[in-house]
A and B are shown apart, each in its own frame.
Chain A
Amino acid sequence: MVDLTRVWDVLVAGGGNAALSAAITARRAGASVLLLEHAPRSMRGGNSRHTRNLRALHPAPTEVLTESYLEDEYWDDLLRVTGGKTDEHLARMCIRASQHAPDFLKSCGVVFQPSLSGTLSLSRTNAFFLGGGKALVNALYRTAEQLGIGILYDTEVQHIEVQDGFATEAIISHHGFPERVRFKALIASAGGFQANRDWLRKYWGDAADNFQIRGTPYAQGRLLRDLLDQGVQEVGDPTQFHAVANDARAPMEDGGLAMRLDCVPFAVVVNRDVVRFYDEGEDVWPKRYAIWGRLIAQQPGQVAFAVTDSKALHNYLPSVFPPYKANSIAELAGMAGIDAGKLEKVIADYNAAVRPGTFQPMKPDDCRTEGLTPPKSHWARLIDTPPYYCHPLKPGITFTFLGVKVSDRARIIMADGKPSANMFASGEIMAGNILGQGYLAGFGMTIGTVFGRLAGEEAARNVRN
């Protein structure tokens, strides 16, 4: 039975990896810890539930990682995806600390799988959780329970009383009932606002109605909004989010990883008006994975259609929902609800521009178009072998970039530049400090674990002093 009348040393708002890493660390340091998770038990864990791995620095092969992955390469990878929109000091600190993240998670009962093929060939840089993120979340909660951390599900932190950078109490909704919780230190790990459609609509208008939220529907950003409104410094572009090409028929929320489609490099992609809008074969899919969501979000109706033929069907992972399938392009267009004549012309023009080459599905090959705008730079083969297939695409949003500013000790920074006396943050709510744009596979879990541990340590130290 969790006592809501006492004063807790540390209140952790959130229930994903970042929250649990913080809670466990603080508890191990001797603090009494209360963790409040908005979701019910069955849906606990925020977006961590949908993750699969974390990116970890390692100077030599480990049980779960091959070869080596050092700071400079890691930093270069981050610099490339963020286009420089990062904080080098925080980023390098996080990268260095990532070396110890797998061992910390192992100490919490998380099991990693031996290095495997992996769908995006990430076994060198990323350690995979056996069974994925939900198994990780299960292990962390189990450890938290064993340590005596108070855990409440169906409990949303709605407001934090902040005076001069000092948080005094929380207003929460526990199974719909209002309660107050007093604490000595706060760790904000309640994620971004990507599931808050009204908030997205502020920047994206009606297009926001067509965005699929890949992860937890509980990422409403309520704590983020509350903290920003109370003088916490903001970081990251509020209008931006990470998004991938999802199946247009996926659930609007919580469809998870399996809804993503990676057929794009092997397809011709048109929008609702049956116009191609971007080079489908620009680079290998792992590098292009994260740009297609944004690209589709900018198209009319936020929808696109990837057209392939039977040659390409086995070059990409099978989709959950079967693609439209027809023996002619015109029939296929009918099934997709787009103009048949235009699609026939797009495919004919594309086929006429395809130059002969040697097809190599796993690396940029010399199959390309000539005289086509936009071009298809690699994997361009004739679309001429029925049956033809069409995958309808919509943007699937993973997370938003807006966050609270933190120090390299995970301490929240106020708008006037002063550190908060007793507020810390970890996870997506502060990931924007390091990830200003773009994404590096598995880096979200790294930030969550590294800053979770830091926040836990610092909060516990704060309470002791």
Chain B
Amino acid sequence: MLPENETTAEARRHMAVCNSCRYCESYCAVFPAMTMRREFSTGDLTHLANLCHGCKGCYHACQYAPPHEFGINLPVTFAEIRAQSYAHYAWPRAMGTLFERNGTVVTLAAALGVTLVLLLTMALVDPSILYTAQRGEGAFFRVIPMWLMVSLAGGTFGYAIIAMLIGGIRYWREVGGGAPAPGPILDTAVDIITLRNLGGGGHGCNDVDDAFSSQKRWMHQAMFFGFMMCFAATTAGAFYHHILGLRSPHPFFSLPVQLGTWGGMLLCLGTAGLIRLKIITDPVPVAKRLVGGEYAMLSLLFLVSATGLLLLVVRHTGAMGVMLALHLGLVLALFVALPYSKMVHGVYRGLALWRHAREKRSSGMVAAE
């Protein structure tokens, strides 16, 4: 369980005000979940914080927001608790410290990933291959041997999945999720896929200022589905390679390239859009300590997809070798950083939504009064 500290005390103070006011009940899942409670253990606070999507609707609507002496600013308080929970449930535990200066960590991972892949490429294959046009089947593997690509990517990605899985299990147990029941898994999936909780009750959220807008929701959707399509592209590539016996580079209109192209463009659009929103948004409901890690991860995702798209453009030229190394270096960094970055929010948010769907069902959503 998250230790008691200033932030949990502050969150509990916030809950005392919010649970007595309840004006925000229609904004998102946090407030109905809060209404079901009167006492807030750190587990409850962790659950509510991870349920919070950071839409900032409650801040802009708050009669107690700063400069009011109560200084209610849930988006910041919950972001802090989320960040603490990411560190607390990191696996192995010691790696939790990587969330401290996460922007630096992710940036370093990117720099090291690119450097490592470039150096490895030069060490393992004839350096001249890096600068000459490679065509035909297996062109990519002449630059980076397949065994290296598969073992590096597979190893790091597999590690990331295991680390995040263990984190998720520990989170669920400690926060007090109870015995997992499959019941409301569909509701949860709908919540995740539609980002309903970024809708502010249907009219969008306060992603920039006190005006309602759906920019953050759409940009996150673009990023999420772009990411998923790129993941599907890789899976399709593996299927082509191992089952169909087709070697990359695949033609432009093949499934892997199509998925990768559109997914990459969506990913670029979404990450660039989210970075823009972060720059122009009202800074008061933003936890400044945490934005570094968020900028770094969004930038890394943007660079991964941008270099992927560039690779498609230059894949028949002499620039392909360097671009491939660059792209795979960034992918490697992404996989390495995955369990120690903002990306883990997907795991905990998903679990929080699942738990909320269960609570909603078992309470019949009847308020405590």
Contacts and interface: CB of A to CB of B under 8 A. Distances in A.
Interface of A: 42-43, 49-50, 52, 111, 113-114, 116-117, 119, 128, 130-135, 138-139, 142, 251, 254, 256-258, 314-322
B17 A42 contact: no
A113 to B, nearest CB: 4
Given A134-B65, A257-B23, 6 more contacts: A111-B201, A111-B212, A132-B63, A256-B63, A319-B20, A321-B16
B62 interface: yes
A48 B201 CA distance: 21
A50 B21 CA distance: 10
Contacts of B65: 42, 134
21 contacts: A50-B63, A130-B200, A130-B203, A131-B26, A132-B61, A134-B63, A135-B57, A135-B60, A135-B210, A138-B60, A138-B210, A138-B211, A257-B21, A258-B21, A258-B64, A314-B368, A317-B20, A318-B16, A318-B368, A320-B20, A321-B16
Interface in B1-51: 16-17, 19-27, 38
Interface in B327-369: 367-369
A320 B38 CA distance: 11
A257 B211 CA distance: 24
Nearest to A257: B21
A254 B71 CA distance: 13
A318 to B, nearest CB: 5
B242 interface: no
Contacts of A133: 23, 63
B203 A111 contact: yes
Looking at A50, A52, A131, A316, the one whose CB has the most chain B CB atoms below 10 A away is A131
Given A257-B63, A318-B38, A131 B27 contact: yes
A402 B67 CA distance: 30
B40 to A, nearest CB: 11
4 shortest interchain CB distances as A-B pairs:
A131-B61, A132-B23, A113-B26, A138-B210
Nearest to B24: A131
A378 to B, nearest CB: 17
A258 B212 contact: no
B73 to A, nearest CB: 13
A177 to B, nearest CB: 22
B83 interface: no
Nearest to B366: A117
B58 interface: yes
Interface string B136-175: 0000000000000000000000000000000000000000
Contact of A134 (B60, B211, B212): B60
Contacts of B23: 52, 131-133, 257
Contacts of B93: none
B126 interface: no
Contact of B369 (A43, A316, A319): A316
Contacts of B22: 119, 317
A254 B68 contact: yes
Nearest to A321: B16
A71 B235 CA distance: 65
Contact of B62 (A114, A130, A134): A134
A114 B64 CA distance: 24
Contacts of A138: 60-61, 210-211
Interface of B: 16-17, 19-27, 38, 57-58, 60-69, 200-201, 203, 210-212, 367-369
Contacts of B212: 111
Contacts, number: 92
Contacts of B21: 132, 256-258
A445 B368 CA distance: 28
Contact of A258 (B17, B27, B38, B369): B17
Contacts of B63: 49-50, 132-134, 256-257
Looking at B24, B27, B69, B369, the one whose CB has the most chain A CB atoms below 10 A away is B369
A316 B212 CA distance: 33
A130 B26 contact: yes
A131 B25 CA distance: 7
Contacts of B20: 258, 317-320
A116 B64 contact: no
Nearest to A261: B20
B201 A314 contact: no
Nearest to B212: A111
A37 to B, nearest CB: 16
Contacts of A257: 21, 23, 63
A400 B26 CA distance: 31
B60 A130 contact: no
Contacts of A319: 16, 20
Nearest to B37: A318
Contact of A116 (B19, B25, B66, B203): B25
Contacts of B26: 113-114, 116, 128, 130-131
A382 B189 CA distance: 48
A256 B68 CA distance: 10
Contacts of B200: 130
Looking at B23, B38, B58, B203, the one whose CB has the most chain A CB atoms below 10 A away is B23
A131 B68 CA distance: 17
A117 B367 contact: yes
A130 B25 CA distance: 8
B287 to A, nearest CB: 20
Contact of B61 (A42, A134, A256): A134
Contact of A314 (B38, B58, B68, B210): B38
B115 to A, nearest CB: 48
A320 B24 contact: no
A252 to B, nearest CB: 11
A127 to B, nearest CB: 12
A128 B26 CA distance: 10
A131 B57 contact: yes
A275 B231 CA distance: 73
A431 B60 CA distance: 28
Looking at A43, A52, A138, A142, the one whose CB has the most chain B CB atoms below 10 A away is A138
A119 to B, nearest CB: 7
A117 B203 CA distance: 20
Nearest to A53: B23
Nearest to A42: B67
Contacts of A320: 16-17, 20
Nearest to A254: B68
Contacts of B25: 113, 116
A355 B58 CA distance: 45
B61 A43 contact: no
Nearest to B18: A258
A119 B57 contact: no
Contacts of A114: 26, 201
Contacts of A132: 21, 23-24, 61, 63
A142 B210 CA distance: 9
A50 B60 CA distance: 13
